[in-house]
Amino acid sequence: MYSTCLFCHTQLGANEAVEHFPVGRRLAFDASKGRLWVVCRKCERWNLTPIEERWEAIEECESSFRATKLRVSTDQIGLARLSEGLELVRIGKPQRPEFAAWRYGDQFGRRRRKSIIMGTAAVAGVATVPFIGPALGISLGGVSGLLFHLGNAGFRLYQDKYVVARVRDGHGNLLLISAVGARSAVMLPPTETEAWGLRINHQPVGQDALPWLDNGKNRPRTDIRGEDAMRAAAQLLPRLNAGGASSKQVRDAVVLATEHDNPATTFERAFRLAEKKPTWRVYGEGAVLSLVPAEMRLALEMICHEDSERRAFEGELYMLEDAWREAEEIAAISDNMFLPESISKRLAEMKGQ
């Protein structure tokens, strides 16, 4: 049983309402499919719980959800708050757009609010300019603009130096990617033999920050494709979407994310959009991921998140299949040991038919 978010590593908190799973302050569950998630209250990402820890906890969640009167619901999704403070999200049979809107609306909205707060703090800092301007003989507007741009540039330069993602290439090599490397990642179109991909600037292992005067553009470049590119994008896109989104942008992103069943189709469309939007900063670089329109970037992040969860489900399926095969072998041995010979022969004949 884990206690920190798998994505942002923040403590998930605890609850006293679900005896068989006392982790988290918001739990989402789908009783029909036997799935239970802990929703991180900081990044709003959904952490899928281990399969062996779900069943009794899901029954408790279902019982508590039905018992509480403090709840709201649609035909597909319900939200309840228990007296202890734990929030339960009950999944019925939602259409994919509705489910996606529920899952990602809070997450992107929270990022937007954080971005606005940081911007407001910067403006508040500029409010001290009336005390500085007259002393320097510079107009209020000039000093305000200068301080704002210098502060913003300095803060961004500081952040750009540090690693924001650690991904593996197709050979298993670790690639360290800084913030400036994330913004300069280039999308690669599919070929006859290869899936879509990313071309990424990275830095040597062990170097957690770029040298102060290094802009990162002369760093080594590596092309990764297919599943490796999807996993890399899952780490890069939250950085590029750090500003969050409005409710309308989230709705538009949900439409884009659910338009096609194949994730590669949406990424190929994003490539074409970025390819048509060059700027002087990245002239000649190709389809830069950060130039993809905001709604499409949000949609790509949703797709990457769901793809990582799909892989987790597939891993569980393989585990179940292995367990079933082992049980089948044990059952076959047991039958051969204890069934009368005549019945064993008859069963063998039936299998042969």
Give the separation between CA 50 and CA 47, rounded to whole angstroms. Answer: 10
pLDDT value of position 23: 95
**How remote is the C-alpha of 108 from its chain's centroid?**
11
In this prediction, residues 44-52 reach a mean pLDDT of 84
Express each pLDDT in 115-145 by its tens digit.
666 655 555 555 554 554 454 445 545 555 5
Express each pLDDT in 176-190 by its tens digit.
888 888 888 999 988
- Whether residue 211 is predicted with pLDDT greater than 60 in this model: the reply is no
Mean residue pLDDT of the chain comes to 76
pLDDT value of position 166: 86
Is the Cβ–Cβ distance between 188 and 163 less than 8 Å? Answer: no
pLDDT value of position 330: 61
pLDDT value of position 29: 92
Give the separation between CA 98 and CA 81, rounded to whole angstroms. Answer: 20
In this prediction, residues 271-280 reach a mean pLDDT of 75
- Whether residue 4 is predicted with pLDDT greater than 80 in this model: the reply is yes
Q: Residue 85 corresponds to which amino acid?
A: G
The confidence band for 63, taking pLDDT boundaries of 50, 70 and 90, is very high
Instruction: Give 106-126 as a DSSP string.
Output: HHHHHHHHHHHHHHHHHHHHH
Instruction: Give 186-234 as a DSSP string.
Output: EEE---SSS--EEEEE-B-TT--B--TT--STTS-EEEEETHHHHHHHH
pTM of the model as a whole: 0.61
pLDDT value of position 24: 94
Q: Across-strand partners of 201?
A: 221
What is the signed CA dihedral for 159, 151, 237, 258, rounded to 10 degrees? Answer: 160
pLDDT value of position 157: 47
Q: Across-strand partners of 175?
A: 167
pLDDT value of position 144: 52
Q: Across-strand partners of 162?
A: 209
- Fill in the DSSP letter of residue 49: P
Kind and range of the H or E element at 79?
strand 77-81
- Domain ranges across the chain: 26-94, 162-353
Is the Cβ–Cβ distance between 309 and 246 less than 8 Å? Answer: no
pLDDT value of position 258: 83
